[in-house]
Chains A and B, each alone.
Chain A
Amino acid sequence: MVRFEEKLKNLQSDAVWQEYCGFLDLEIDEYMQIQNRLMIEQISLWSKSELGRQMLDGKQPKTIEEFREQMPLTTYGDYADILLMKQDDMLPDKPVIWIQTTWEGGKNPIKVAPFSKSMLETYKTNMVACMVLATSPEKGVFNLKTGDTFLYGLAPLPYATGLVPLLLNEEIGIEFLPPVKEAVKMSFSERNKKGFKMGLEKGINYFFGLGSVIYFVSLSLSSIGNSGKSKKSGDENAGGLFKYSPSMLFRIAQAKYNCKKENRELKPKDLFKLKGLMVVGTDNECYKNDLEDLWGIRPMEMFAGTEPGCIGTETWARDGLYFFPDACFYEFIPDDEMNKSLEDPGYQPKTYLMNEVIPNEKYELVVSVFKGGAFVRYRVGDVYRCVGLESNTENTKIPRFKYVDRIPTMIDIAGFTRISETCIRDVVDISGLKILDWFAIKEYNKQNRPLLHMYVEMKPESLVSSAITKDILREHLSVYFKYVDNDYKDLQRILGMDPLEITILKCGTFEEYKRQKGKPIKTFNPSSYDVMEILEIQKQDYEVSRRWHF
């Protein structure tokens, strides 16, 4: 196969664009043709595999309609026995690599997903398309070159993001700062420091990662840049300066001069002219404006996951994601159907296809991974909102989506950790705190940062026997969150954020709520209206049940 780099040299740029980003020009019927044809291929591959045979239990669907009728929706638990054992021979296609991630609330700490050779090929092509689009100011125009530099802010293999440098380097000579081989051996902060230092010498063209991580790293860069001020006469600083090329020194000087003139802190945009800034994960909306301010260009959001691979990207308009037609077969569960099925696990929710979505509706995404993927009709656990079926600004005729959040049974903080109801219950149990009742909800603070807000009601008898303040509870629970959930620990270690917020409710509030409403408040992610109501109820005078005193 011809590498992307060769194509850049030998093809007209519009031909390159057409090859990688041409899917944006598809009519919805053409889009569905690709979807349907690849799905038929996948059904035949998957049904023949041992995994498929076991899950289909004797049924032999031939068409997409039959398949959707006969095969129920799946979650990771349905595959766990086979995938966790890495039983290659039971899969539709031989995996080249197994990608790993945390399995929150699962029966195993991690979950793994196989990637076949052709899946990786698609991943690669679509990744290049994202890179092309990230540098693109308008349709058909892009600025991706051999030798561009890429600040490495990603988790290494076996995490999905670890594939990015490997795949990109198969297509185009991009220099990662620091080089991948060194980066994987470094700690997160070492890697960032080294990356920026190299960036100061060579310039930085791309930055890609979780929105929250990029934001944190960008702030730390500002502090590195500004630290020069405080160490005015430091030898180290002076020695450091000699490492930079004169042009870089000029840039630093110019940047500092500009900042001084505008009386503001140094920002990465003063030092680097990024070609592309790409973000993945949840809560990117919270960081996009700040990132734009820091880097001078608006981040482009894309969607990649451990199970589905790289499946969607925004374009130059930064106005919603488009799904790649050749990565997965997409089905969408409407919001109310999703809620019904979350309440009643036995319920099979209806799904709709890409040509059946309705603007402004929220949908849970269901994917069947093409090209010999293991997952079919798989509930990824993400909710999207369809923002339009066509776009005049982008001149597209396929639906585009905005990422909303994880499904309501999961609280995802900044793309870093996924907290389930079971997880909180475990934390409450092992913490030994005298918590009578609680509910938890994902909220955003004034700075628009995500947080996990727990509303707790203490057992009345504990009030006289132990010290219970908001801070103590917060500290206490945090420790146990870190104990139960490794990612939570990283959240604090890497991003320095503690997303836990506690509100102590008056004794008897939960019971009073139940009395007034006729049912208890939902423990996990209740609606904001319910929260407002319980806070109102708390203000009322009511008898506290005395049963705890006996």
Chain B
Amino acid sequence: MTGHFIAVPVAALFCYIFLMIAFMAAKKTKLINSFLLVLVALILWAGGSFCMRALLMPSIKFWYDISLLGLTLLPVTLANFFAEFVGSKERLLKKIWFILFVVINIINIATGALLAHPVLVHIGTDEKFVYYPTWSVVLLFVYFAVIFSHVLYVLIKNSENNELVRKQFTPIIIGIIILFIGHLFVMLSIFQGFPTDILSGVINALCIIYAMYKKRLFKLTLLVSRGICYFITIGLTILIFSNAIPGMERFIASSFSDFSNHRVLLIAVLFTIAILLLYHVIKKFIDTVFIKDEIVRAENLKKFSSSVAKSLRIDEILEELVNVIQYTIGVKRVYVCVLDNTTEEYKIAYSTSPLDQMTLNIKKDSPIVRLLSEQGECLLMKDFRRTMAYKSMWEEEKKQLIELDIECFAPLRDEDELIGIILLTSKEKNNSYTYDDVGFLGSMDTIGSIAVKNSKLYEKAYLEARTDELTGLLNRKYFYESLQEEYEKHNNQSLALIILNIDDFKLFNQLYGNKEGDIVLMKIAQIIKSTVGDNGHVARYSGKEFAIILPLYDILSAMSIAENIRKQISNINKKTKDYALKALTVSGGICAIPHSASTLRQLVDNADMAVYHAKRRGKNLILAYSVEKKDLEHEINGIEEKKKADIYAEYASAIYALTAAIDAKDHYTFNHSKRVAYYATRLAYAYGMDEDFVRIIKEAALLHDIGKIGVPEHILNKAGKLSEEEYEKIKDHVENSIGIIRHLPSLDYVIPAVIGHHERYDGNGYPRRIAGEDIPISARMLCIADAFDAITTQRAYKQPSTALEALEILEVNAGRQFDPVLVPIFVHLVNNGLINIDEETIKMYE
């Protein structure tokens, strides 16, 4: 071993190799690669110097040449590095420097003309390397000077107009100056033997690393791994022991002579212990300095990941998300906005504190949404402000973000769709957001978005389980649940319940078919929902009943809502253009806690009772439950009977007037209608219809051809075949009939039967060309009765057929023109004499 200062090149070499390994692990960019080249040059230089000083094989000259190779390579690699650092595209000079480097080395290795290798001289016990420079060493300095001037020129030119770039360059320029000074000092006698040049190389490398770190070209933590710990430990241990072993041997020999035979073993044990201790100390140090934050983050992320995996409630997941972000990043407030599909806006669904302002809505077309979806990573407000996209922000939106002090946006994505946005305010102590924060938020995106998506799916399923499929209202089960919830929430305060029951809905369905009935149910649900809004819960209580839970409402205000709804519903069918549908009405009952009920059971029962009373009072009425209602029952019954009688009186006179009119015009049609009424009512009874229905179908049958008033007599009684035009005229009678009946509101319920009696079961009829069950049952019955009579009676253009023939025709056409279920019943009725076709019976029936 030579000289006392061998430790300097060793330390330098060690430092470079450490950096080399560390940077090998970093993400490779052109700049990192160019820095690795700088490190190669430094390693050659320091390594050559060390081997030379250690007098290793093969020779001093060999190691000296390696060292000089590294030294002369250094400016070339540095020039390359700086060109990359500033993004310069200059290629020519780089090539020239490289050629110069090659030439210098070839000349010097071959001849030693520039600076020959040093000679080892012994001065007493000391050994020294002595150089014998000639004038030609100046060429080497010129070589360095030219390249470094080029580097400095590039740096200055690029930092001229930009203070920021200048700041970034400062450490690099300091590094180069130190490098130069180091080389000058090596010439001074005061530093003779001490490799200031190599020391300056180490400092220079550190300066470059600092500059690169400042430019955020790599993450320090990325460079530090367990492997690095091992490497440092081994390096340090070797270094210490290589110096300490002779001393220890002496110490053992002198102080513990008994153990001197086992000194190798002893030293080996000590060596092992030292390695262990060192490793732990270094690991502890690195963990504290570099990786502590990383570990904390990873742990938080893990905790978050496992806790959200346990929950499917979106509130809980968002709470967890907000908490972990706030805790880990140290941010003042965090808001999570989730996409609301109905309004197409991202609304704040959760924030750090319930006291936070929750008014922020980010529109789906906002540039924030676009940038987050496109980039898929965090967006810092300060960067966002500088984008062109920011220009399309509304002033109001900008103001909101400023008011909330938002500094960072993070996406929550499900593949390409942005399902949510995390908004972060400024950090504690107003620190700025770091790379680590951004990375952490990226991980949150991955875990958080899956959790949020799953919970949204769950909530959707949950909601679907709670709602009635047709109307979108709460179903009966969840009606009770919500009622219970509200009851508990508003203990000791008022809670009102409205039950609305559609009047004569069964009839409506029979008249118009279930399809029409469903449409009406949806319309009513929509009316109730939009009227009640956020003030309460609306449920489909049963097939034709709706319940409205109104927390904090008393009877009076509930009554006003219910009346409002009743009026809107009664207007539903007034606007239909093609044909009038029966007017729809509802009867409603209201009850409220504590005014007229004290338990939920009572609340529901009493509201039901009020509905019952409303129905009995003549429907289309809202009643509030009160205890006196029971006493009024008798009175109500009276009213009901009276009302019924009035209505029928009105019907009778209208029908009489109309049939008289048709009789005057066309006596056949008058008689035909009477016969059809007889057949249809028999059929309706046989099919099991109730009195109300039978009355309707009878009236419908009497009026079904009333439109023939508008058809010219010569067409009605034409003997030959009808022309196309004439047939169209005949077809018009259906519409004409409706046109007449619609002006008699009390008879409007016969319309479905009348309008549908020429529809065919296979959908080829007229005027609406509806098919099957969509044709109201009354119309299907009327159709059979109508056809049967037409076949069995004499007309101007045909002779009558027998009943048997007629039934045959009906059977043949069952499923095509006629309802296949009703035809057999009708046939059965005729065959068994339950329907007679002789005039006498029909007259009797009248």
Indicate with 1 or 0, residue by residue over B473-510, a CB within 8 angstroms of chain A CB atoms: 00000000000000000000000000000000000000
| B161 sits at the interface (CB 8 A) | yes
Determine the residue in chain B with the shortest Cβ distance to A121.
B395
B386 partner residues in chain A, CB cutoff 8 A: 15, 18-19
Q: Are B365 and A37 in contact (CB-based, < 8 A)?
A: yes
| Cβ of B637 under 8 Å from chain A | no
Asked if A34 is at the interface (CB within 8 A of a chain B CB), the reply is yes
Contact B164 A11 (CB under 8 A): yes
Q: Is B388 an interface residue (CB 8 A)?
A: yes
* A12 and B165 within 8 A (CB): yes
**CB neighbors of A among B344-371 (8 A):** 365, 367
**Chain A binding site: helix, strand, loop or mixed by DSSP?**
helix
B388 touches A30 (CB 8 A): yes
B391 touches A9 (CB 8 A): no
Q: Are B395 and A41 in contact (CB under 8 A)?
A: yes
> Which residues of A1-41 are within 8 A (CB) of B?
8-13, 15, 18-19, 22-23, 25-26, 30, 33-34, 37-38, 41
Given A18-B386, A19-B386, A37-B365, A13-B161 contact (CB < 8 Å): yes
Shortest C-beta distance, A92 to chain B (Å), equals 11
| Interface assignment of A371: CB less than 8 Å from any CB of chain B | yes
Contact check, A37 vs B392: say whether CB atoms are below 8 A apart. Answer: yes
Q: Give A22 to B385 CA distance when docked, in angstroms.
A: 12
Closest A residue, CB atoms, query B395: A118
A143 within 8 A of B: yes
Which residues from chain A contact B388 at a C-beta distance below 8 Å? 22-23, 25-26, 30, 34, 325
Flag whether B434 is at the interface (Cβ < 8 A). Answer: no
Q: Does B149 contact A (CB under 8 A)?
A: no
B392→A371 contact, CB < 8 A: no
Q: Give Cα A38 to B366, complex, Å.
A: 11
Residues of A within 8 A of B387 (CB): 18-19, 22
Closest B residue by C-beta to A31: B388
Taking the nearest CB of chain A, how far is it from the CB of B697, in angstroms? 50
Residues A372 and B395 in contact in the complex (CB < 8 Å), given A11-B164, A19-B386? yes
Asked if A487 is at the interface of the complex by the 8 Å CB criterion, the answer is no
A299 → chain B, closest Cβ, in Å? 23
State in angstroms the CA–CA spacing of A253 and B387 once bound together.
48
Q: Is the CB of B392 within 8 A of A326?
A: yes
B163 close to chain A: CB less than 8 A? yes
Bound complex: CA A525 to CA B269 (Å) = 108
Contact of A37 with B394 in the complex, beta carbons under 8 Å? yes
Q: Which residue of A lies closest to B166 (CB)?
A: A9
Docked complex Cα distance between A349 and B513 (Å): 54
Which residues from B are CB-within-8-Å of A22? 387-388
Task: Enumerate chain A residues within 8 angstroms of B385, measured Cβ to Cβ.
Answer: 19
| Residue in B385, B386, B391 whose Cβ sees the most chain A Cβ within 10 Å | B391
Tell me the residues in window 195-209 of chain A with beta carbons closer than 8 Å to chain B beta carbons. none
In the assembled complex, B576 has its CB within 8 A of some CB on chain A: no
Answer whether residue B162 sits at the interface, using C-beta atoms and an 8 A cutoff: yes
Measured CB to CB, the closest approach of chain B to A306, in angstroms, equals 22
The answer to whether B394 and A41 have CB atoms under 8 Å apart is yes
Contact with A along B151-174 (1 / 0, CB 8 A): 000000000011111000000000
**Candidate in B163, B387, B389, B394 with the most chain A CB atoms within 10 angstroms:** B394
List the B side residues contacting A37 at CB < 8 Å: 365, 367, 392, 394
Smallest CB separation, A139 vs chain B (Å) = 15
Enumerate A32-58 residues with CB–CB distance to B below 8 Å. 33-34, 37-38, 41
Alpha-carbon separation in the docked complex, A145 to B396 (Å) = 33
The interface residues of chain B lying within 8 Å CB-to-CB of A326 are 391-392
The answer for the CA separation of A290 and B163 in the assembled complex, in Å, is 37
- Contact of A12 with B391 in the complex, beta carbons under 8 Å: no
Task: Check A38 against B163 for contact (C-beta < 8 Å).
Answer: no
Query: How far in angstroms is the closest Cβ of chain A from B311?
Result: 37
Chain A residues near B389 (CB, 8 Å)?
Answer: 34
Write out, one digit per residue, whether chain A residues 325-345 have a CB within 8 A of any chain B CB (1) or not (0).
110000000000000000000
Contact assessment for A34 and B391 in the assembled complex, using a CB-CB cutoff below 8 Å = yes
Task: Select the residue from A11, A19, A30, A37 with max chain B CB neighbours within 10 A.
Answer: A37
Enumerate chain B residues within 8 angstroms of A371, measured Cβ to Cβ.
395
Give the residues in chain B near A10, CB-CB below 8 Å: 163-164
Q: Closest CB-CB distance, A541 to chain B, in whole Å?
A: 66
Q: Are A38 and B164 in contact (CB under 8 A)?
A: no
Q: Which residue of A lies closest to B399 (CB)?
A: A118
Q: Which of A344-373 contact B (CB under 8 A)?
A: 371-372
CB-contact partner of B392 in A11, A25, A38, A143, under 8 A:
A38
B380-418 contacts to A (CB < 8 Å): 385-389, 391-392, 394-396
Q: How far is the CA of A348 from the CA of B162 in the complex (A)?
A: 53
For window 312-329 of chain A, which residues contact chain B by CB distance below 8 Å?
325-326
Q: Chain A 62-99 against B: per-residue CB contact (8 Å), 1 yes, 0 no?
A: 00000000000000000000000000000000000000
**Which chain A residues lie closer than 8 Å to B367 at the CB level?**
33, 37
Complex interface bits, B511-533 against A, C-beta within 8 A gives 1, otherwise 0: 00000000000000000000000
B-side contacts of A11, CB under 8 Å: 164
Chain A residues closer than 8 Å to B162, beta-carbon distance? 8-9, 12-13
Nearest CB of chain B from residue A140's CB, rounded to whole Å: 12
Q: A18-B386, A19-B386 are in contact. Are A33 and B164 (CB under 8 A)?
A: no
B-chain residues with CB within 8 Å of residue A372 when the two chains form the complex: 395
Asked if residues A325 and B395 are in contact (CB atoms below 8 Å), the reply is no
Docked complex Cα distance between A143 and B161 (Å):
8
Which residues 177-217 in B have Cβ within 8 Å of A in the complex?
A: none
Q: How many angstroms from the CA of A13 to the CA of B386 in the assembled complex?
A: 13
Nearest Cβ in chain A — how far from B608, in angstroms? 45
Per the bound structure, the CA–CA distance linking A41 and B395 in Å amounts to 8
Closest to A22 in B: B388
> Contacts A23-B391, A30-B388, A326-B391; is A9 near B163 (CB within 8 Å)?
yes
- Minimum CB–CB distance from A186 to chain B (whole Å) comes to 34
Q: How far is the CA of A88 from the CA of B741 in the complex (A)?
A: 62
Contacts of A143 in B (CB 8 A): 161
Give Cα A18 to B389, complex, Å: 12
Which chain A residues lie closer than 8 Å to B165 at the CB level? 12
CA distance A37 to B385 in the complex (A): 17
Q: How far, in angstroms, from A8 to B164 measured CA to CA in the complex?
A: 8
- In angstroms, how far is the closest chain B Cβ from the Cβ of A21? 10
Expressed in whole angstroms, the Cα–Cα distance for A38 and B251 within the complex equals 85
Most chain B C-beta atoms within 10 Å of own C-beta, residue among A19, A26, A372: A19
Q: B365's closest neighbor in chain A, by CB?
A: A37
How many angstroms from the CA of A12 to the CA of B163 in the assembled complex? 9
Q: Which residue of B lies closest to A327 (CB)?
A: B391
CB distance from A113 to the nearest CB of B (A): 19
Q: Is A33 in contact with B161, judged by CB distance below 8 angstroms?
A: no
Q: Which of B163, B392, B394, B396 is close to A33, meaning CB atoms less than 8 Å apart? A: B392
Q: Which residues of A contact B392 (CB under 8 A)?
A: 33-34, 37-38, 325-326
B387 and chain A: residue at smallest CB distance: A22
CB of A371, distance to nearest CB on chain B (Å):
6
**What are 22 A-B pairs at a CB distance below 8 A?**
A8-B163, A9-B164, A10-B163, A12-B165, A13-B162, A19-B385, A19-B387, A22-B387, A23-B388, A33-B367, A37-B367, A37-B392, A37-B394, A38-B391, A38-B392, A38-B394, A41-B394, A41-B395, A118-B395, A145-B161, A326-B391, A372-B395
Known: A143-B161, A325-B391, A371-B395. 12 other contacts (CB 8 A): A8-B162, A11-B164, A12-B164, A12-B165, A13-B162, A15-B386, A19-B386, A25-B388, A34-B388, A37-B367, A145-B161, A325-B388
Smallest CB-CB A-B distances: 7 pairs: A34-B392, A19-B386, A326-B391, A37-B392, A9-B163, A41-B394, A22-B388
